[in-house]
Structure 1
């Protein structure tokens, strides 16, 4: 081989080694525990120990000279125990002295408040409807049965809301709930029965789910992301099918939509977003680029995903990675101050961002332009730089509207409950069950975004929706309910 060929081969091997080292580092982080992305460019304070510092006894040191230091400081007052919530019901217990108090004058009392727990109760509701024979012998008079969410089922709306909230908010699979019912109440429903109740609820809620979808798509700014979910498929033996929950979030209206699809291709989001016009905030997944080809859609990027690439490069090129992370940190500190100054004034927020944050974004781009040819393209820092430059038009689009967030963190927070839940129930039983889960995750995610108790919302909605006008379904969405 010639010298030029050897140099090319040497370069290729260096890139391959750097890429493998980076992959190995990421795997080790995942194996060893949670991967924090917190970055601090400040050195530790003098004398402050570090977690991985070499023990002092293992390092030879000279005998230190004795030094006596004395000082005084004010002791910080303890805030004390948190006050108990005022809205809790109170059960008063009066304890009189054992001695005879006849003729004694009461001068006061000592009050101590503690908490006790009353276990949930399962109540058998018996509805009695008296029957009356009409005077003329023309039939029988009896009151109609109240409407229930699932006709002819033994379950009321409050129990349905409890079961579904326990699974999709508290991550308790149905089989665990059945064991709890048996242990606490001696009642053991069949799992197929509870699955049937869930399907019945989702069938009832489907029109409201479609109303939620249309309300989000009428917005002109939404965020999008996707997350995998295992699904049992009768046509696929030996392993579960890898499905995807596509998630769409409206940060302004604080509404979330989950939409199940069998794959991660463009057909699902392209079908759902047909006719959509406005900003679509997303990561660098290529499917979004194809959707963004529609002239009515403007893609906005995610600073967190761009930042994450530089965080991953800390181990291989600390100096360059720290410089980039320091600039990202300044952007987020400025964003925090801007939101405090203009919490609801999006026009003012845009002006302040153009003044304080956008120059930092341009600074990173300029720095990468000067440094990218000094690093290996396939090294972690090289990949981080390439990703940033590839996403730069989308990142720049963030500053086109003051409503647009700097990143997709809000939608990732909406996905997190599903990620925790699938570790407990592992998979969905069918593609239909996965879409039913999407319906419930959509409503529960919207409840979370709007600060609404999901169990109370679901119970109220299941009671009202059977007889609610189809033209006024939006009134039942989380946060939009009208009192009856």
Structure 2
């Protein structure tokens, strides 16, 4: 009976590292399936009590000294709205006067009691009729007023209905078939296929505005980028869907967002869109963005949140090292929170970071140099340290310009509507449909960033676009938009 030859020291070490890596993968899968998705970190002392001690680069034991700390801090006071105390004044009131059953003709009124309740009048469809009298002059010439331009030429839907269809799907995530059911309850049977056709017509009208938004956004000098998948029906894959991607670009200074659909996740999508862009580009560590390192007119900025995520996942693997880094990161984010609470300008935020954040980043950098060779590369803490070491210089750049954010979480937050939509309408019907969705997400997302009601914006823009000169489309972008006079809506 033959026996296997003994393993060399290198082979044994490789097996140990592979075992550690597989164990870590099992932990992450269990956490994904059964664990909490929260990444909140609260450091604890050995006795289980919360620790307020800040991590430092020194390995010397800390001396515990009791002290009394008294400080003041600003706390936002949020006014509690007591529903029973009254409703907002902007809501219309309908008065119902209830007289006593007794004869009050000989009585004197000394006051009244008012009790309010909140009610709802369901949405309702109505038909707007354009009545155009025809006249004939003495010269036997006829005169009649011209019809206003309609969003869809010779189409049934007005701008208000089109806007509601779009916002219902992309803000409230109602697929067309559910909307069709609701309209049938309102007394009008509109097939889902008809709603889809109207949506295509509206997007054809919005296309030039979307292209204007793209040009305007790419004129910025600081963008954040990310991508998210979307399933797309493909005629070449019967019974299956194609994995497409929305590439998302956000301008923090302009408060605009652009969704760009691409059939894949390759580097060709961002290369094409950003071929003329010049400025900062802040992204995660995805390799498709590495192509911009060779361009002198684009400066890549890293994301602290992605690096932090690795250390939070490494807490069970190496608590001491992971906690040390997470405590430093807490200090860095505390500086950002202070800048937001004080509403600092970019210049003042830069000065605050130089005073409070740069020393912490320097300590973190020194620690990484010392520790990266002491951990197993395939362990959770090893992956976290190596990830941060590879991107430390890019993350450090946020200290050099007060306009830059510490992470690209803002652009990730703008992707959430897509994730919610995927759970409801599941997929896009075609690649063209996915691009139409990108157009709508861009306009509605920019409205949200500007504090604009998306439904009112689309209703107004869809009514005005057919007559808007091409060189004045910028006036309809969310930052410049001013609502025009609307068509009258009857009291129903």
TM-score, normalisation: structure 1: 0.89
Q: Is the 8 A contact 2:460 2:483 kept in 1?
A: no
Q: CA, structure 1 residues 150+44, in 2 after alignment: closer, same or farther (shift >3 Å)?
A: farther
Q: Once the 2 structures are TM-superposed, how far is the Cα of residue 2 of structure 1 from its aligned partner?
A: 8.9
Distance 1:90 1:247 in 2: 43
Match runs of 1:25-174 below 5 Å: 25-32=27-34, 34-42=36-44, 81-82=82-83, 83-138=86-141, 140-174=142-176
Distance 2:132 2:46 in 1: 75
Structure 1 window deviating more from structure 2 (225-234 vs 316-325): it is: 316-325
Matching residue of 1:236: 237
State the secondary structure of the residue aligned to 2:190. Answer: coil
State the secondary structure of the residue aligned to 2:415. Answer: helix
Matching residue of 1:418: 418
Distance 1:483 1:116 in 2: 28
State the secondary structure of the residue aligned to 1:298. Answer: strand
* Structure 1 segments unaligned to the other structure (5+ residues): 49-77
Distance 1:347 1:353 in 2: 10
Distance 2:264 2:207 in 1: 22
Q: Once the 2 structures are TM-superposed, how far is the Cα of residue 34 of structure 1 from its aligned partner?
A: 4.9
Q: CA, structure 1 residues 88+279, in 2 after alignment: closer, same or farther (shift >3 Å)?
A: same
Q: Once the 2 structures are TM-superposed, how far is the Cα of residue 14 of structure 1 from its aligned partner?
A: 2.1
Q: Once the 2 structures are TM-superposed, how far is the Cα of residue 245 of structure 1 from its aligned partner?
A: 0.3
Match runs of 1:252-263 below 5 Å: 252-263=253-264
Matching residue of 1:348: 348
Q: Is the 8 A contact 2:21 2:379 kept in 1?
A: yes
Distance 1:6 1:45 in 2: 43
* Structure 2 segments unaligned to the other structure (5+ residues): 51-78, 485-492
Matching residue of 1:371: 371
Matching residue of 1:408: 408
Matching residue of 2:269: 268
Distance 1:276 1:129 in 2: 51
Aligned pair count? Answer: 451
Matching residue of 1:188: 189
1:436 paired to 2:436: yes
Q: Once the 2 structures are TM-superposed, how far is the Cα of residue 43 of structure 1 from its aligned partner?
A: 5.8
Q: CA, structure 1 residues 150+261, in 2 after alignment: closer, same or farther (shift >3 Å)?
A: same
State the secondary structure of the residue aligned to 1:280. Answer: strand
Q: Once the 2 structures are TM-superposed, how far is the Cα of residue 32 of structure 1 from its aligned partner?
A: 2.2
Q: Once the 2 structures are TM-superposed, how far is the Cα of residue 354 of structure 1 from its aligned partner?
A: 1.6
Q: Once the 2 structures are TM-superposed, how far is the Cα of residue 415 of structure 1 from its aligned partner?
A: 0.5
Q: Is the 8 A contact 1:223 1:248 kept in 2?
A: yes
Distance 1:87 1:261 in 2: 44
1:220 paired to 2:221: yes
Q: Once the 2 structures are TM-superposed, how far is the Cα of residue 33 of structure 1 from its aligned partner?
A: 5.8
Distance 2:10 2:47 in 1: 46
Matching residue of 1:73: none
Matching residue of 1:321: 322
State the secondary structure of the residue aligned to 1:328. Answer: helix
Q: Is the 8 A contact 1:452 1:479 kept in 2?
A: no
Matching residue of 1:288: 289
Distance 1:466 1:29 in 2: 52
Alpha-carbon deviations, 1:119-175, whole Å to 9, x = none?
00111222222233443334x322211111110110000000001000000000001
Q: Is the 8 A contact 2:179 2:192 kept in 1?
A: no
Distance 2:191 2:98 in 1: 47
Matching residue of 1:74: none
State the secondary structure of the residue aligned to 1:172. Answer: coil
State the secondary structure of the residue aligned to 1:374. Answer: coil
Q: Is the 8 A contact 1:283 1:302 kept in 2?
A: yes
State the secondary structure of the residue aligned to 1:270. Answer: helix
State the secondary structure of the residue aligned to 1:373. Answer: coil
Q: Once the 2 structures are TM-superposed, how far is the Cα of residue 205 of structure 1 from its aligned partner?
A: 0.9
Alpha-carbon deviations, 1:212-247, whole Å to 9, x = none?
111111110010000010111112234211100000
